[in-house]
Amino acid sequence: SLNLQWNLVCDNDWKGPLSTSLFFVGVLLGSFLSGQLSDKFGRKNVLFATLAMQTGFSFIQVFSTSWEMFSVFFLLVGMGQISNYVAAFVLGTEILGKSIRVLFCTLGVCIFYAFGYMLLPLCAYFIRDWRMLLLALTLPGLLCIPLWWVIPESPRWLISQGRFEEAEDIIRKAAKTNGITAPDVILDRRELQDLNSQKQQTYTILDLVKTRNILTITVMSVLLWMIISVGYFGLSLDTPNLHGDVYVNCFLSAVIEVPAYVISWLLLRNLPRRYSMAAALFLGGCVLLFLQLVPSHIRALSVLLVMLGKFGITSAFAMVYVYTAELYPTVVRNMGVGASSMASRLGSILSPYFVYLGAYDRFLPYILMGSLTVLSGILTLFLPESYGMPLPDTIEQMLLVKGDSLFSFSLLPPPPPPPLTAAITTRDSKEEEENPEILKSTSF
């Protein structure tokens, strides 16, 4: 094994958890950089550049000759992995209609993540050599190359950059794919001229804390993501410490995510965001707190409760992506999701050490993770509600909040989008069902 090959035992056993933390440090750096790069160079370009980065460095990692070399490339793989994940998530959020967007963000993205998670213990069971296992997990990344000619750039991002002709071409292709006849004029030319005459404003990470309302949402999102990440990765990393076969437990930990994502999709589709997330977090946190009350001889019940806690936290993790993306406007959405994801990586870096607290008290990790999860559920109730509201495109639209206190406010519906944005906004009213527009659902 890797531990014996590089003598990661006894006095060097600290190197094992450090490798995991270094991977999450790479994820942290990638979360910070990917948002700004994606908002500047485009969702599609960053998505495929970081896919190449992840696949390339993973392949080099197979030939590592030392723990130091392995760890350095592990950090770089982490940077690429989260960068393409965030870029793909935001691209899908912006290019799809409202009903399809929720399906994509939950079942579309997350459930396939769960399938990959389930394949991991299966591959590890049959491929015991770590180099061959890493190679088997890396090569499928090459299958993403043909997708460059299939996946379009985000029309919303192109419009925000003043590249209106490219956005219109994508919209017309979408209309053709959907079997809809596109009108002669999709975007208002007079408004395009006005916008073209204006200097395009450059947004930075500082715009996420520029005013009181955005600062409040950013701070609360950061705390929420960090706590959820501690619970999710803490429970995932603690799987080998559960009773029973490590491969079976890892597989069960992956399987439980499938119904969690299905539930999160149903909740996002039919119920308000903050109440759905709070319920999932309360479930996950309370179950972990009750775990210490289970008699030690009832091992199956302990495993069941851990999986139920993973179910609740995983559901919340799926919903928080959608929720956060809906709170931020188009011009800084990728930075907002990226900054929140970056904060969650602080939690993931800490999560291995939550697990190792079990060496002092077996239930201490669950008590800490359960308490933090319940607190995050309470915090969620103070966020503004975005259910049933159109995505904001500008910071000015996001600023339309009401309330006198720091936490007592709710998001007001943004003003009607201008014609150029309305052309790519899915509307679900009965009138539009009778008179379908060009993008009833922007699918490619």
pLDDT in tens, 113-145: 888 888 888 888 888 887 888 888 888 888 888
Model confidence at 312: pLDDT above 70 = yes
* Residue 369 pLDDT exceeds 80: yes
Listed residue (257, 235, 272) closest to 369, CA to CA = 235
| Pairwise CA distance, residues 138 & 132, whole Å | 10
More confident site: 403 or 174 = 174
What is the pLDDT of the chain when averaged over all its residues? 75
CA distance 315 to 332: 25
Position with higher pLDDT, 307 vs 443: 307
Q: Per-residue b/e over 414-444, b at no fewer than 16 CB within 10 Å? A: beebbebbbbbbbeeeeeeeeeebbbbebee
Half-sphere exposure of 147 (CA within 13 A, CB side): 15
pLDDT for the residue 284: 87
Which of 334, 277, 325 lies closest to 98, judged by CA?
A: 325
* CA end-to-end span of the chain: 44
- CA distances from residue 121 to 255, 306, 336, 399 in whole angstroms, order as listed: 11, 18, 33, 46
- Which has more confidence, 317 or 5? 317
pLDDT of residue 281: 92
How far, in Å, CA of 212 to CA of 385, rounded? 17
Residue given tokens 């870029």 in the structure block: 87
Tell which residue, 266, 362, 256, 378, has the closest CA to residue 309: 256
Q: Which of 201-215, 402-416, 419-433 has the highest mean pLDDT?
A: 201-215
**Tens digit of each residue's pLDDT (9 = 90 or more) over 157-215:** 887 777 777 877 887 887 777 777 766 666 665 665 555 455 456 777 777 777 777 78
Q: Are 285 and 374 in contact (CB under 8 A)?
A: yes
Look at residue 150 in the predicted model and tell me its pLDDT: 86
Question: Please, what sign has the CA dihedral across residues 354, 359, 364, 366?
Answer: positive
Confidence band of 233 (pLDDT split at 50, 70, 90): confident
Q: What is the pLDDT of residue 109?
A: 76
| pLDDT tens column, 258-306 | 888 888 888 888 888 888 999 999 998 888 888 778 777 777 787 888 8
Which of 145-149, 161-165, 423-427 has the lowest average pLDDT? Answer: 423-427
| Residue 46: C-alpha distances to residues 96, 141, 164, 334, 387 (Å) | 19, 15, 20, 11, 29
Residue 399 is predicted with a pLDDT of 44
| Alpha-carbon dihedral 192, 193, 199, 205, rounded to 10 degrees | 0
Res. 429: pLDDT tops 50 = no
- CB atoms under 10 Å from CB of 287, counted, come to 22
With 50 as the cut, is the pLDDT of residue 427 above it? Answer: no
Q: Catalogue all structural domains in the chain, each as residue range(s) with its CATH number.
A: 1-151 (1.20.1250.20), 156-190 (no CATH), 203-403 (1.20.1250.20)
Hey, how many other C-beta atoms are within 10 angstroms of the C-beta on 396?
12
Query: Residue 393 contacts by C-beta under 8 Å, 6 or more apart in sequence?
Result: 156, 160, 329, 330, 331, 414, 417, 421
Taking alpha carbons only, the member of 34, 41, 30 closest to residue 77 is 30
In angstroms, the CA 18 to CA 24 distance is: 10
CB 347 within 8 A of CB 226: yes
Residue type, 318: A
What's the residue count for the chain?
444
254, 120 in Cβ contact below 8 A? Answer: yes
